[in-house]
Amino acid sequence: MGTVTRAHLAETIYAQVGLSRNESAELLETVLERMSATLESGESVKISGFGTFSVRQKGRRIGRNPKTGQEVPILPRRVLVFRPSHVLKSRANGLTPEAGDDGHGGDE
Amino acid sequence: MTKSELIAELATANPHLRGADVELIVATIFDEISEALARGERVELRGFGAFTVKRRDARTGRNPRTGESVAVDEKAVPFFKAGKELRERVNLGGARRPAAERVTG
């Protein structure tokens, strides 16, 4: 099964919107960069019908090197979490979005 | 930031594009990723992250309210793993200078 890359997405923008290939690739990059910068600032990115990317603060804890069993402190850090919308969950299960009536009407 | 805010920012930064085209660009990106996941494919965007579909086996769950057992079918769950670069940016974004002071670009 294939892997979709930047090149594929840029090609789809090119085909759908009719901009040059170059500009399509640049705009894709701009979108990813705007999303990254927002997340870097700690703010969430909510894409209706797709999902929400948010930043979660993790506290300090004691971890263990699984190989040696040695205790290592894991410092407080911020991690990115993605929560797929019910529309995306349904599509991943081969259902049309309408068929995914799981009661979570969270998307506009 | 919401999808409409993302579209508005993109439109401001690209005044030569029609508003409808900016909307179409953003919609195309997320539609294309969704469609790839629907086909069971993986979407890999270096530096940003990778979207995959994970299979969850059928299991016996419980209704947390009543404690009743319910059969949960096998299902597919969309999953995103941040790429190295984005992971580091998100982590350092909190520890160092406030984001507003930093020059993005």
Cα gap A97→A89, rounded to integer Å: 9
Q: What angle do CA A101, B52, B31 make, to 5 degrees?
A: 60
Q: Share the mean pLDDT of chain A.
A: 88
Is B6 in contact with A41 (Cβ distance < 8 A)? no
pTM: 0.83
Instruction: State mean pLDDT over A26-31.
Output: 96
**Residue A61 pLDDT > 70, yes or no?**
yes
Q: Provide the 8-state DSSP code for A76.
A: P
Scan residues 13-72 of B and list those with Cβ closer than 8 Å to A.
13-14, 17, 21, 24-26, 28-30, 32-49, 53
Cα gap A41→A34, rounded to integer Å: 11
Residue B17 pLDDT: 94
- Burial classification of residue A96, based on how many CB atoms lie within 10 Å of its CB (0-12 exposed, 13-18 middle, 19 or more buried): exposed
CA proximity to B34, closest of A55, A77, A16, A97 = A97
Is A92 in contact with B77 (Cβ distance < 8 A)? yes
| B48-98 pLDDT tens trace | 999 999 999 999 999 999 989 999 889 999 999 999 999 999 999 866 555
CA proximity to A9, closest of B89, B46, B98, B56 = B46
Cα gap A84→B34, rounded to integer Å: 10
Best of B5, B28, B55, B97 to mutate (most A CBs within 10 Å, chain A): B28
**Residue B105 pLDDT > 80, yes or no?**
no
Residue B99 pLDDT: 46
Instruction: State mean pLDDT over A78-92.
Output: 96
